[in-house]
């Protein structure tokens, strides 16, 4: 089967930075490597900086450029709105797009607050009734090793899950002279390591186990509480203290988000869990770690070796048991058949193509894709509970709506 002669789906992407580059490649690759039922068309990229948007269009083949994202909602040739902007803009854009009848792919975290996220869920549910689809960009779910891990759990290969160990470790803020950016300001970013990377590892843990966190005891910390302000225009705005130090050193502004968060939890199936998100784990660049222990087997994953899933099968005789290093590059692994022969490893951006393929497939087939806005909302409630618990020195904070655990195996 080829992709020619199939219906097209016009994509309008908002934002063109890091995520814009990853998404552009994905929309382009979907038809190149997969037999999709509908073919994404790179219709328009929108951004306030027209030159930058045009450069992105030029590099990736977007057909047109808009400087006002609202224009995308008015265009008939655009079917999908792809939101790659900071979190404080998600709710407004997504709700408007859904109300305009556009399918929406929204980068994570879904929103900067539970309230915004809840509004987005309502808009998504109303739109779904009319056949309009929505999806949140927890892209790591579609790393083949992670999708494969999910399948193993679904097949019962781990038995009942008793332990979850999740961590997302980076180190780009260790240097106290690293400058203050919007990511370190609560108004723009919502939270720090917690929402930016903690959201991913929490989503992954829930996705792979098929269970939910039921509550948390959490601590957070901001190790460097003031940083140099490289952009003078920020001074005077909320949170920028503007202390111009005497001895020639730069103006400094307050960091108003967490640098790191740690928490313990109970999963809805009774497992104990630990999670950690930090930008201060010196030497760890993008270490997304997930370990799951069940009564029949275990899993271990680290994104720094993303093509590998370590799997332990406890039903094997102890003499021959151990963690098997599965190189997740076989044609029978999720998504891999579209790419290369065994052993020809995939990279970071491939999961974005899988996300694009799954979304256009869901649209073409009339099904609701996952992770849904509800999934994103549930993560948002966890992030909120983490902040609440941290404010109360780690006291147990239940997640609203989560199921009650039933821990005993006997």
The per-residue DSSP string of 30-98 comes to HHHHS--SSEEEEEEEE-SSHHHHHHHHHHHT-SEEESSHHHHHH-TT--EEEE-S-GGGHHHHHHHHH
CB of 381 to a copy of itself, least distance (A): 18
Cβ closer to a copy of itself: 98 or 263?
Answer: 263
The torsion angles phi and psi of 351, rounded to 5 degrees, stand at: -65, -30
Q: Out of 126, 231, 238, 325, which residue is the one contacting a copy of itself (CB under 8 A)?
A: 325
Q: Out of 23, 284, 354, 381, which residue is the one contacting a copy of itself (CB under 8 A)?
A: 284
Of 92-100, 205-213, 235-243, 346-354, the segment contacting a copy of itself by CB under 8 A is 346-354
Q: Out of 41, 102, 103, 333, which residue is the one contacting a copy of itself (CB under 8 A)?
A: 333
Cβ closer to a copy of itself: 120 or 297?
Answer: 297
Does 395 participate in binding a copy of itself (rule CB under 8 A)? yes
CB of 155 to a copy of itself, least distance (A): 10
Q: Let me know: does 81 contact 14? Beta carbons within 8 Å.
A: yes
Does 298 participate in binding a copy of itself (rule CB under 8 A)? yes
Does 403 participate in binding a copy of itself (rule CB under 8 A)? no
d(CA 286, CA 266): 25
DSSP state of 244: E
Size of the site for a copy of itself (CB under 8 A): 109
Cβ closer to a copy of itself: 118 or 387?
Answer: 387
CB of 71 to a copy of itself, least distance (A): 22
d(CA 59, CA 18): 14
Closest C-alpha to 111, from 91, 135, 131, 137: 91
d(CA 6, CA 254): 53
Site string for a copy of itself, 133-162 (x = CB under 8 A): ---------------x-------------x
Residues 6+ apart with CB under 8 A from 238: 185, 187
H or E element at residue 18: helix 18-33
Site string for a copy of itself, 38-77 (x = CB under 8 A): -------------x--xx--xxxx----------------
Helix (H/G/I), strand (E/B), else coil: 109: coil
Q: Out of 187, 324, 365, 401, which residue is the one contacting a copy of itself (CB under 8 A)?
A: 324
Hey, which residues between 206 and 265 contact a copy of itself (CB under 8 A)?
Answer: 217-219, 221-227, 260, 262-265
């Amino acid at each position: 089967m080829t992709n020619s002669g199939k219906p097209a789906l016009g994509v309008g992407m908002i934002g063109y930075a890091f995520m814009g580059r990853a998404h552009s490649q994905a929309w382009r690759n979907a038809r190149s490597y997969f037999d999709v039922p509908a073919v994404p068309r790179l219709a328009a990229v929108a951004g306030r900086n027209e030159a930058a948007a045009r450069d992105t269009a030029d590099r990736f083949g977007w057909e047109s450029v808009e400087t006002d994202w609202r224009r995308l909602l008015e265009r008939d040739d655009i079917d999908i709105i792809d939101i790659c902007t900071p979190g404080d803009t998600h709710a407004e854009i997504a709700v408007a797009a859904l109300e305009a009848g556009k399918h929406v792919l929204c980068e994570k975290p879904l929103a900067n607050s539970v309230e915004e996220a809840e509004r987005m869920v309502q808009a998504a549910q109303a739109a779904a009734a009319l056949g309009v689809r929505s999806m949140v960009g927890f892209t790591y779910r579609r790393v083949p090793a992670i999708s494969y891990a999910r399948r193993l759990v679904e097949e019962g290969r781990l038995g009942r899950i008793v332990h979850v160990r999740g961590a997302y470790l980076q180190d780009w803020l260790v240097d106290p002279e690293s400058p203050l950016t919007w990511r370190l300001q609560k108004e723009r970013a919502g939270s720090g390591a917690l929402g930016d990377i903690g959201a991913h590892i929490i989503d992954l843990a829930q996705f792979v186990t098929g269970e939910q966190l039921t509550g948390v005891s959490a601590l957070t910390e901001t190790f460097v509480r003031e940083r140099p302000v490289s952009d003078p225009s920020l001074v005077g705005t909320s949170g920028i203290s503007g202390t111009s130090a005497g001895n020639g050193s730069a103006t400094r502004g307050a960091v108003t988000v967490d640098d790191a968060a740690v928490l313990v939890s109970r999963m809805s199936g009774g497992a104990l869990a630990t999670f950690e998100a930090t930008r201060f784990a010196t030497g760890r660049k993008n270490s997304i770690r997930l370990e799951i222990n069940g009564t029949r087997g275990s899993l271990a994953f680290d994104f720094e070796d993303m093509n590998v899933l370590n799997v332990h099968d406890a039903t094997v005789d102890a003499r021959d048991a151990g963690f098997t290093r599965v190189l997740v590059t076989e044609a029978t692994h999720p998504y891999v058949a579209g790419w290369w022969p065994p052993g020809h490893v995939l990279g970071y951006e491939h999961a974005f193509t899988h996300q694009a393929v799954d979304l256009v497939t869901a649209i073409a087939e009339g099904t609701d894709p996952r992770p849904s806005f509800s999934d994103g909302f549930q993560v948002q409630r966890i992030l909120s509970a983490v902040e609440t618990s941290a404010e109360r020195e780690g006291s147990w904070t239940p997640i609203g709506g989560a199921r009650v655990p039933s821990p005993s195996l006997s």
